[in-house]
Chain A
Amino acid sequence: MPITKSVSGFHLLLLCLMLIVSGCYTRESSGDETDTTLTVEKNEEKPTATAPAESAKVDVNLYLEISNGMKGFMPPAEAGRQPTGFQTRLNKMISEVQDGIYVDAKSYYLAKQDNQGRPVLDSVSYNTLKSTVVSGIKANVLGTPLPAMLQAALGKSVAQDAVSIIISDFIHGPDPRDQGQFISLDSDIRSSLKLAEHKGLVMAVLADASAFYGSYYPAVKKPAASRKLDGEEIPYYIWVIGRQQDVQVVTSKVLRNLPAQQAYFGFGYTTLPYSAVLKSKQFRPSGVVYCTSRTAEACTSVNMQPQKDEPVAFTIGMDLSTLPASMQEVKYLERHLKLAATGCRASLGDITAASEDTKAMPDLASFTHFVQVNVPQLTASKGTIALQLPQVVPAWIGNWSTENDNDPAADPKKTYQFNKIIDGVQALYRDQRKHVFSLTMDFNKAD
């Protein structure tokens, strides 16, 4: 009897041990459990990710200025002559607006002025617009009162809740009786666009130059009031005004192949996906740095402790795919991306765009850019490191401006007081956010 007792006692002990040991193994698999919750979350995210694609259709109002000064961009077709760059680009653009899948409702307007110098927006069909682009402007329209035209166009688009695409040479041609407008150009532009500020709209300004055949009417009328050009390059501009996500759709999906000269006003992003990349073989961190949370999907807080002989360096992955095209260029980021740190000394290292290698890694695939951050020293036990992209006016705007546009052959690709026009635009957004984005990485001193 005592023997069986001890045997059952032993069985009990063995059972207990097995339970404890198996309990230990389930602890071990806790990582797998979080993995499954992650995949569940990802599955839930998918529908929301596809939802914007469906609602990414925009209504577009396209305004083409047809003053005499624009005629040279759209010379009538002639055997043996290539279409101008303007015609090629416009043709592609309007067919994309008309037939592309990203545009819902579309309206086309020819912008001119009546005899009193007031802007007139003529609603036309697609075919009329197309024939205007390929075979030229017949009407005789003198000058463009730029602010008035912008105001009329913007007012119409806001009323229709559409994105405005305005195509013009942006040579200001005020009524000859009111030359004072030249002096107040920037404030006039600002007041004409104030609706954009009030409605929270953003603006993309794209510039390109095209061969020009025919009479060119400079803003500065001396020594020549007009010049005959035969293929010289004259700048023209495409302004896109609307809500941020709509402008983004137009610039990336409808216009495509944007010219190199791009400027964006009022753009801002409060939520961009980003994470410290600490466990990838491509971006191995150095020094003592690890994510504060072991299971967090996006690591936005790290623990670190730089040593004298072993400074900390790690990589932050960011998804900038929703940013305007020119801001996604590595060169642009290298020039403008800033690092603001509290509680440590830190500097920016290499900035790289996603490559085939990173796209193949599941944990890196969602990022478009990788920024290395070097932290040689902490000055406090906790703090923040923020990656910030400030709003900057691109350098090309100054280069495309001139105070005398009378002789475009000698001084090509310049528009009279274009910087002043842009000053007016900038004034709209002066008091808004200072950064296009600011991504904050918290840190604690590692124990």
Chain B
Amino acid sequence: MIQNFFSGLYELILGRPMPANFTNDYREVVFPNTGLQLFLISLALVVIYYYVLNRMMSTGFYKTQHWVLFLALNAIIAFVVPIVQVNSHGIDSHSYTYMFAFVNMIYSLILFFVFSILLKRGSVQAWTTPMKWPHKR
């Protein structure tokens, strides 16, 4: 179920895994692992930004540029994770690997943004970062 979800998510844009003889490794291991890590790491960074740095502590990292810093950090992690996954499973290197890493990075930007919109309301100092919408308060 989760396998199919993540395989579908990546193959929607990337197409069939290449080299094709490693299709199973991508579908059964690399896609689900990368997808799960993408969700959890993005969520964790959003939580750290809004709830740790800008609620429990008052660190002053509430500006949009700090938010962008975290967005970029998340994107870098999202680019590295697929490459590590592919290499650690003995899959032959292919341009597909880097396309996959790139797509995962784009997904991380979207996810980080979505999680920010959903969770920023609970933050004390940063509820208007990166912008006020959709909250009015």
Given contacts A288-B16, A289-B21, contact A24 B33 (CB under 8 A): yes
Is the CB–CB distance between A279 and B22 below 8 Å? yes
Q: What residues of chain B lie closer than 8 Å to A10, measured between beta carbons?
A: 51-52, 56
- Please report the total number of A residues contacting B with Cβ < 8 Å: 29
- Is B40's CB within 8 Å of the partner chain A? yes
Is the CB–CB distance between A287 and B29 below 8 Å? no
Interface residues of A in 353-387 (CB under 8 A from B): none
What is the total of A-B residue contacts with beta carbons within 8 Å? 64
Given contacts A24-B36, A24-B40, A28-B85, contact A6 B56 (CB under 8 A): yes
- Is A291's CB within 8 Å of the partner chain B? yes
Is the CB–CB distance between A294 and B20 below 8 Å? no
Given contacts A6-B56, A10-B51, A28-B33, contact A294 B24 (CB under 8 A): yes
- Is A77's CB within 8 Å of the partner chain B? no
CB of A64, distance to nearest CB on chain B (Å): 56
Given contacts A6-B56, A13-B47, A28-B33, contact A290 B20 (CB under 8 A): yes
Central interface residue in A10, A289, A293, A294, by most chain B CB within 10 Å: A294
- Mask for A418-447, Cβ within 8 A of B = 1, else 0? 000000000000000000000000000010
Q: How far is the CA of A278 from the CA of B19 in the complex (A)?
A: 11
Chain B residue nearest to A302 in the complex (CB) = B21
Chain A residue nearest to B47 in the complex (CB) = A13
Is the CB–CB distance between A303 and B23 below 8 Å? yes
Is the CB–CB distance between B56 and A27 below 8 Å? no
- Is B118's CB within 8 Å of the partner chain A? no
- Is B82's CB within 8 Å of the partner chain A? no
Q: What residues of chain A lie closer than 8 Å to B19, measured between beta carbons?
A: 284
Q: What residues of chain B lie closer than 8 Å to A278, measured between beta carbons?
A: 21
Is the CB–CB distance between A294 and B28 below 8 Å? yes
Q: How far is the CA of A294 from the CA of B36 in the complex (A)?
A: 20
Q: What residues of chain A lie closer than 8 Å to B43, measured between beta carbons?
A: 17
Is the CB–CB distance between B22 and A290 below 8 Å? yes
Given contacts A6-B56, A24-B37, contact A287 B32 (CB under 8 A): no
Inter-chain pairs besides A17-B47, A290-B21, A290-B22, 6 sampled, C-beta below 8 Å = A6-B56, A10-B51, A24-B36, A24-B40, A28-B29, A284-B21
Residue ranges of A at the interface with B (Cβ–Cβ < 8 Å): 3, 6-7, 10, 13, 17, 20-21, 24, 27-28, 30-31, 278-279, 281, 284-285, 287-294, 303, 314, 446
Is the CB–CB distance between A31 and B29 below 8 Å? yes
User: Chain B contact residues (Cβ within 8 angstroms of A): what range?
Assistant: 20 to 34
Is the CB–CB distance between B20 and A287 below 8 Å? yes
Q: What residues of chain B lie closer than 8 Å to A284, measured between beta carbons?
A: 19, 21
Chain A residue nearest to B90 in the complex (CB) = A279
Is the CB–CB distance between B40 and A279 below 8 Å? no
Q: How far is the CA of A446 from the CA of B15 in the complex (A)?
A: 13
- Mask for B51-76, Cβ within 8 A of A = 1, else 0? 11001100000000000000000000
Q: What residues of chain A lie closer than 8 Å to B89, measured between beta carbons?
A: 31
Chain B residue nearest to A304 in the complex (CB) = B20
Is the CB–CB distance between B47 and A20 below 8 Å? no
Q: What residues of chain B lie closer than 8 Å to A287, measured between beta carbons?
A: 20
Central interface residue in A10, A24, A284, by most chain B CB within 10 Å: A24
Q: How far is the CA of A293 from the CA of B89 in the complex (A)?
A: 15
The 8 Å CB contact of B23, one of A7, A21, A446, is A446
Given contacts A6-B56, A10-B51, A31-B89, contact A279 B29 (CB under 8 A): no
CB of A278, distance to nearest CB on chain B (Å): 4
Is the CB–CB distance between A289 and B40 below 8 Å? no
Q: What residues of chain B lie closer than 8 Å to A285, measured between beta carbons?
A: 20-21
Is the CB–CB distance between A288 and B33 below 8 Å? no
Is the CB–CB distance between A27 and B21 below 8 Å? no
Given contacts A28-B29, A28-B85, A31-B29, contact A290 B56 (CB under 8 A): no
Q: What residues of chain B lie closer than 8 Å to A21, measured between beta carbons?
A: 37, 40-41, 44
